Amino acid sequence: MSTSPVTAPQHASMTQFATVDNQLAIAGFSLSQIGAMLGKDVFYAYDKAVIAQQVERFRRVIPARIKLHYAVKANPNAAVVNFMRPLVDGFDVASQKEMLLAMQSGMPVADISFAGPGKTDAELLSAITAGVTLNVESATELARICAIGKDCGKTPMVALRVNPAFELKASGMKMAGGAKPFGIDEEQVFALLGSIADMPVKLRGFHIFCGSQNLKPEACPPKWARSRFWRKI
């Protein structure tokens, strides 16, 4: 048994927020002031200036050629989504409701992608009709997309979600390496690429996401593992 002392986790510095009377301030008002205005003790408060600053801060450290898409499931509040619309290059959605919210914001459908396993036929039909890009999670889902597109007379926009053979071990939620509900196994992708040209879909590219909640750059797989799939392509 280890006798090493346990170090309490430290929250990341949140210097982006100002304070008023020793309280967090949102848009210049302290939390108690906002509570008084709302007549509530429990509420959600968002600061548009902080949101814009955080997006700009992120933009400064990523290459200019990389496009930034907002995952609506992170916060589907309509006011937040509408505010994010001019700040980002696209939206990623995980349900029909999120897709409609993204469209209502004015984001072009060409810049909206729909990801997630377990999509219903109604969701697939909705996405195909709208013209958003479906991130395909399995060969079975691709067959369903082809059938639904044929029935409604539309050419579905698709991207193949790849489940690479390597695993991002430091992730809180692992989405790659071995059997997972997320994406098409690397080996199957090559078989699909040989036949997708004859399918009634338009291939827009690939989607790959190995895991979430990883804050350790050194935990990334070696370069040969990350590039192996793309060299084969």
Least confident of 20-34, 52-66, 174-188: 174-188
pLDDT at 173 over 50: no
The whole-number pLDDT of residue 151 equals: 97
Q: Report the Cα–Cα distance between both ends of the chain, in Å, rounded.
A: 48
pLDDT at 72 over 60: yes
Residue 229's pLDDT band, with cuts at 50, 70 and 90, is very low
The whole-number pLDDT of residue 224 equals: 41
Q: Smallest Cα–Cα separation from 140: which of 97, 188, 177, 198?
A: 188
- Write the single-letter amino acid at 93: V
Q: Please, are residues 169 and 210 in contact by the beta-carbon 8 Å criterion?
A: no
Degrees to nearest 5, angle at CA 156 with 151 and 157: 175
Mean pLDDT of 161-173: 62
Helix (H) or strand (E) holding 223: helix 223-232
Q: Please, are residues 219 and 168 in contact by the beta-carbon 8 Å criterion?
A: yes
The whole-number pLDDT of residue 172 equals: 42
For residue 29, what are the CA distances in angstroms to 3, 18, 40?
Answer: 46, 9, 15
Q: Please, are residues 196 and 206 in contact by the beta-carbon 8 Å criterion?
A: no
> Distance between alpha carbon 189 and the CA centroid of its chain, in Å?
21
The whole-number pLDDT of residue 192 equals: 82
Residues 6+ apart with CB under 8 A from 147: none
Please tell me which residue, 192 or 172, carries the higher pLDDT value.
192
Find where tokens 């200019």 sit.
64
Between CA 186 and CA 146 the distance in angstroms is: 21
Return the beta strands (E) in 27-128 as ranges: 29-30, 69-71, 90-93, 112-114
